[in-house]
């Protein structure tokens, strides 16, 4: 190419640039017009929900949308039968990959442990009765396994181009007020005003609040729960909440989310819903949310000023540890945002943490349960309880954040595990890992179950303890190591497959800062001279717990469920599960996979949950590196454990477990004097628990 040709090509390139710029502007203008029209359509769809006879298929056909899209805009139009919605659970396991031939499992030889006198006691003559969610009652549930070949490689991979990165912006603060919907008391800035809320519809509440406090973008309801008004007219509480959120209004419409930072639509929840509204005359203007204070903490009778002070103290405590801390709408959003601001700026993970492949996230979702909930029934415990004593682990999950799995996992097959030395096997189990195992409860075992077994039904997991019982499951290394090395009798574990991660500290800094904020508020709740401020500090401390608890749960990320209807006789979408049908349509749902969420890390949630379940059984008290004592169910006498509730245990007698006020310590929360008839349902247990807490409070006998 000569210089003349080169100059001519440059000129032509400049001309092409101008044409591309013009085309981009045309596309942007068209996109803006499309967004405007789409927003108008969404507003009209939401408005149609106010008509009692409105039906999603007719609206969908007129709007050119799917029934699922219509339901997302206007949940009140959901055509799913009420009975199906009432029984549908949130936790749906991912489809199991086709099973592949597995290598011969590698048995783990338990370490030599001298059995304690308790372990030598004979097993009960009668097999332990199943819990209300036992495998016998519900039936076993098959869990997915790791496939062989190219399909298996996806379980040792991350998602291309999806990384958790540190943000380079500060969150926007939202003008917030606190409203007692029962009395009409509104806390705005440093004053309280009384409002007339009319019939307490969303529109009337917004009119009253915005008149008293113009510019408000977030309203927290501290008492009164207006979304439960008229609930008796609906078959489920969720239907009643959806109806309230979608109450027609001439002045307000459902927010459609135009704009990068605006969330769209309502969130329907039985007790903690979120309503998002925009002025009908200016739907593209500022969105105002109506939310429940219960997302953050139970106000427990606190007035709106105390709730406002609690939020102020919470923000101040977090700002001492994050210069750019902002309280977002929910503790989950706040927790994830605060965590993202602890992503390291140097070292191996300075560029962010990679997100696992969709296949691996689905496997973790299906095989890693959360908290242990189990009611243990006679004859494993007495029919008549001498007492009911409740212990609750203080700020429990905060104790398990110091180490978490990072990077791409390495698959450990049964053959590879068998080839390891005993020291290597122990190291692998004590590292961040997730294992597919076959478990056998040892002969002579007379205590609680140690490992989760999958079952169908609401509970999803049970904890077998009958001697000789064999089951296949997945579990974290912490739980498996405990089953092998517990001080009573080692269990038999066979490794079928596993995933071994690199040990990292992605949650450590986040956890340390939250623990420091919690400690500051807890101390303030004890020493402040003003009673209102003591209460506010206590509630703020509970809010920090919610930030950690729900922030951690936000990493788990569930697969999306899409529901819809199809005319009878027409083919259903691939993978659809039929929920119900009538003489015209079939109602179905199907999994739509996972969204490309850069903050999806189910491996972190799974590892923390596994460690917390293990600590319910055996937790070590340390002074430096020295072990100074033990606590947990395995350190209580056999036959004395009545109930497990995520981070709490109920027993028939008090325990000598010290409480130093540190995260993870067991705190005496309730003591109900017996004899008591053993509860047969969780509801009966919760009633007894409330009585026990009241009795202990009346005694003033806390540890």
DSSP 386-413: EEEEEEEETTGGGGG-S-EEEEEEEE--
* 582 and 647 co-located in one domain: no
Q: Is 184 in contact with 255 (CB distance < 8 Å)?
A: no
Q: How many CB atoms lie within 10 A of CB 178?
A: 26
Q: Rounded to an integer, what distance in angstroms lies between the CA atom of residue 103 and that of residue 105? A: 6
Q: Is 587 in contact with 579 (CB distance < 8 Å)?
A: yes
Residue 122's pLDDT is 30
Residue 254's pLDDT is 85
- The pLDDT-based confidence of 656 (bands split at 50, 70, 90) is very high
In terms of average pLDDT, the best of 119-123, 322-326, 571-575 is 322-326
**pLDDT tens, 442-455?**
999 999 999 999 98
* 393 and 286 co-located in one domain: no
Residue 255 phi/psi, 5-degree rounding, is -65, 135
Between vectors from CA 556 to CA 497 and to CA 621, what angle results, nearest 5°? 80
**In which residue are the tokens 């009958």 written?**
466
Omega into 675 within 30° of 0, i.e. cis?
yes
Distance of CA 175 to the CA centre of its chain: 27
* 427 and 530 co-located in one domain: no
Residue 565's pLDDT is 67
Q: How many CB atoms lie within 10 A of CB 225?
A: 18
> Looking at residues 542-561, what average pLDDT do you find?
87
Q: How many distinct structural domains can be found in the chain?
A: 4
Distant-in-sequence, close-in-space partners of 95: CB < 8 Å, separation ≥ 6: 144, 362, 575, 591
* 370 and 498 co-located in one domain: yes
Q: Is 289 in contact with 254 (CB distance < 8 Å)?
A: no
Residue 25's pLDDT is 81
Q: Higher-confidence residue: 408 or 283? A: 408
| Collapsed DSSP state (helix, strand, coil) of residue 199 | coil
Q: Is 536 in contact with 448 (CB distance < 8 Å)?
A: no
* 435 and 453 co-located in one domain: yes
* 64 and 185 co-located in one domain: no
Residue 203 lies in a domain: yes
**In which residue are the tokens 């929840």 written?**
269
What average pLDDT does the structure give for the chain? 84
Sign of the alpha-carbon torsion through 82, 83, 87, 88: negative
**In which residue are the tokens 């100074």 written?**
628
Residue 628's pLDDT is 85
CA distances from 118 to 67, 205, 345, 487 (A): 60, 62, 52, 10
* 607 and 621 co-located in one domain: yes
* 499 and 619 co-located in one domain: yes
Residue 86 lies in a domain: no
CA dihedral 467, 682, 371, 342 (to 10 degrees): -170
Residue numbers of the domain that contains 531: 176-340+508-556
Distance of CA 287 to the CA centre of its chain: 26
Residue 12's pLDDT is 83
> Tokens standing for 315?
């923000």
> Tokens standing for 525?
């709740």
Residue 88 lies in a domain: no
Residue 372 lies in a domain: yes
Residue 223 lies in a domain: yes
Residue 246's pLDDT is 87
Residue 162 lies in a domain: no
Q: Tell me the β-bridge partners of 392.
A: 648, 667
Q: Tell me the β-bridge partners of 404.
A: 504
* 426 and 456 co-located in one domain: yes
* 316 and 370 co-located in one domain: no
Q: Which of 61, 79, 97 is the last residue of a domain?
A: 79
Residue 353 lies in a domain: no
For residue 104, is pLDDT > 80?
no
* 195 and 303 co-located in one domain: yes
Residue 530 lies in a domain: yes
Residue 466's pLDDT is 95
* 136 and 258 co-located in one domain: no
- The pLDDT-based confidence of 95 (bands split at 50, 70, 90) is very low
Residue 561's pLDDT is 56
Q: Which of 79, 98, 126 is the last residue of a domain?
A: 79
């Amino acid at each position: 190419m000569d210089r003349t040709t080169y100059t001519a090509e440059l000129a032509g390139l400049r001309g092409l640039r101008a044409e591309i710029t013009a085309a981009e502007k045309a596309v942007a203008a068209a996109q803006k017009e499309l967004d405007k029209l789409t927003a108008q359509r969404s507003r009209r769809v939401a408005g149609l929900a106010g008509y009692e006879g409105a039906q999603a298929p007719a609206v969908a056909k007129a709007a050119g949308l799917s029934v699922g899209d219509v339901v997302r805009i206007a949940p009140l139009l959901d055509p799913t039968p009420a009975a199906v919605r009432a029984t549908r659970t949130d936790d749906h396991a991912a489809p199991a990959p086709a099973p592949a031939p597995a290598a011969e499992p590698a048995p783990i030889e338990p370490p030599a442990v001298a059995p304690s006198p308790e372990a030598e006691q004979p097993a009960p003559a009668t097999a332990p009765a199943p819990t209300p969610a036992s495998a016998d009652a519900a039936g076993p549930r098959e869990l997915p396994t790791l496939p062989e070949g190219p399909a298996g490689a996806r379980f040792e991979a991350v998602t291309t181009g999806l990384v958790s990165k540190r943000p380079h912006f500060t969150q926007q603060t939202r003008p917030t007020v606190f409203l007692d919907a029962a009395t009409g008391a509104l806390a705005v800035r440093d004053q309280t005003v009384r409002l007339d809320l009319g019939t307490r519809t969303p529109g009337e509440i917004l009119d009253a609040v915005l008149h008293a406090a113009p510019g408000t973008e977030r309203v927290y309801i501290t008492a009164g729960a207006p979304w439960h008004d008229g609930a008796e007219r609906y078959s489920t509480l969720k239907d009643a909440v959806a109806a309230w959120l979608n109450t027609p209004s001439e002045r307000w419409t459902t927010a459609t989310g135009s704009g990068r930072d605006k969330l769209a639509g309502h969130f329907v929840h039985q007790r903690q819903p979120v309503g998002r509204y925009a002025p009908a005359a200016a739907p593209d203007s500022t969105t105002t949310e109506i939310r429940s204070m219960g997302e953050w903490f139970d106000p427990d009778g606190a007035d709106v000023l105390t709730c406002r002070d609690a939020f102020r103290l919470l923000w101040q405590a977090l700002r001492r540890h994050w210069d750019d801390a902002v309280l977002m709408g929910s503790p989950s959003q706040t927790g994830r945002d605060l965590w993202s601001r602890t992503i390291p700026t140097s070292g191996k993970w300075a560029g962010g943490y990679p997100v696992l492949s969709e296949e691996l996230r689905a496997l973790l979702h299906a095989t890693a349960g959360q908290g242990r909930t189990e009611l243990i029934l006679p004859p494993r415990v007495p029919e008549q309880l001498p007492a009911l004593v409740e212990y609750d682990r203080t700020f429990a999950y905060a104790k398990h954040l110091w180490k978490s799995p990072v990077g791409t996992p390495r698959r450990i097959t049964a053959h590879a595990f068998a080839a390891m030395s005993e020291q290597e096997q122990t190291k692998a189990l004590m590292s961040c890992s997730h294992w597919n195992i076959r478990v056998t409860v040892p002969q002579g075992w007379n205590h609680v179950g140690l490992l989760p077994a999958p079952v169908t039904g609401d509970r999803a997991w049970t904890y077998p303890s009958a001697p000789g019982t064999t089951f296949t499951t997945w579990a974290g290394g912490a739980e498996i190591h405990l089953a092998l090395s517990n001080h009573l009798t080692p269990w038999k574990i066979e490794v079928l497959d596993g995933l071994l991660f690199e040990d990292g500290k992605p949650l450590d800094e986040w956890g340390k800062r939250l623990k420091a904020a919690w400690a500051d508020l807890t101390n303030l709740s004890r020493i402040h001279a003003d009673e209102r401020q003591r209460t506010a500090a206590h509630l703020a401390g509970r809010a920090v717990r919610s930030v950690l608890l729900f922030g951690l749960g936000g990493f788990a990320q569930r697969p999306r469920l899409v529901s819809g209807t199809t005319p009878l006789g027409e083919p259903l979408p691939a993978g659809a599960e039929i929920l119900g049908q009538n003489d015209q349509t079939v109602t179905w749902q199907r999994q739509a996979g996972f969204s490309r969420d850069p903050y999806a890390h189910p491996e972190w949630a799974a590892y923390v949950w596994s460690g917390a379940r293990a600590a319910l059984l055996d937790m070590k008290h340390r002074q430096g590196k020295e072990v100074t004592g033990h606590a947990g169910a395995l350190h209580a006498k056999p036959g004395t454990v009545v109930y497990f509730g995520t981070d709490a245990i109920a027993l028939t007698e008090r325990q000598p477990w010290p409480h130093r006020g540190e995260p993870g310590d067991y705190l005496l929360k309730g003591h109900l004097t017996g004899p008591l008839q053993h509860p047969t349902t969780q509801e009966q247990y919760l009633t007894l628990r409330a009585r026990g807490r009241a009795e202990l409070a009346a005694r003033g006998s806390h540890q």
